[in-house]
Amino acid sequence: MTDIRPLNYAKTHFIMSAPDISHLPTDDGVEVAFAGRSNAGKSSALNTLTNQKSLARTSKTPGRTQLINLFSVEENCRLVDLPGYGYAQVPEELKRKWQKSLGEYLQKRESLKGLIVLMDIRHPLKDLDQQMIAWAVSVNIPVMLLLTKADKLAVGAQKKQLNLVKEAILPFQGDITVALFSSPKRIGLDPLKQKLDEWFANQ
């Protein structure tokens, strides 16, 4: 059993943005990628995790993350902010380009050891979310589903959605965990950090 030590996510800093995997640094160490629909609250989650207001740029216009953004937590431990998917108000050509770079990263990046898929708790498991989960399971990459914006629902409704999602993912038969998350209320921060620590320990 690998010793799991808690990392200090507040020390996370931006390394670079890349249009595709050919521009990324050497494929070693451990990377954990954050993926989700363009309005799922990915940037807010990264900022909350690292306790930094503007590590990842949040935008009033979803779909602004058009590059693969890399952040270093510590040596050989990186967080990756992938381009948001599934937002309608983006030119088709640009959407295709993103999907290509997203697909290449997910299929070819050896250092990818875990995938965080963020979904609005009110609209979970859309087609693209399910494709992302199915892909990760097919290549044995563990997944954590974060049901974001949990503060928008009452506690009873949160639990109901959590249970519905847990049931819905059973057919995927993969290493998948599900947690509630809210950036403003800091709900789900500890489970997220524990999961990241676990994945980063597997070097």
Q: What is the pLDDT of residues 102-153, one digit of tens each?
A: 778 888 999 999 999 999 999 999 988 998 899 899 889 999 999 999 999 9
Supply the pTM of this predicted model. Answer: 0.91
Place of tokens 């640009």: 94
The per-residue pLDDT for 53 is 86
pLDDT of 84: 80
Report percent pLDDT > 70 for the chain: 92
**Average pLDDT of the segment spanning 67-72:** 90
Token pair for residue 152?
């928008």
**Nearest Cα residue to 191 out of 200, 176, 178, 174:** 178
Amino acid 2: pLDDT? 62
Is the per-residue pLDDT at 68 higher than 90? no
3-state helix, strand, coil in the chain (%, to 5): 40, 25, 40
| pLDDT score recorded for residue 198 | 96
Judged against a pLDDT cut of 60, whether residue 63 lies above it is answered with no
* pLDDT given at position 58: 56
Q: What is the mean pLDDT of the chain?
A: 89
Residue 203, pLDDT > 80, answer: no
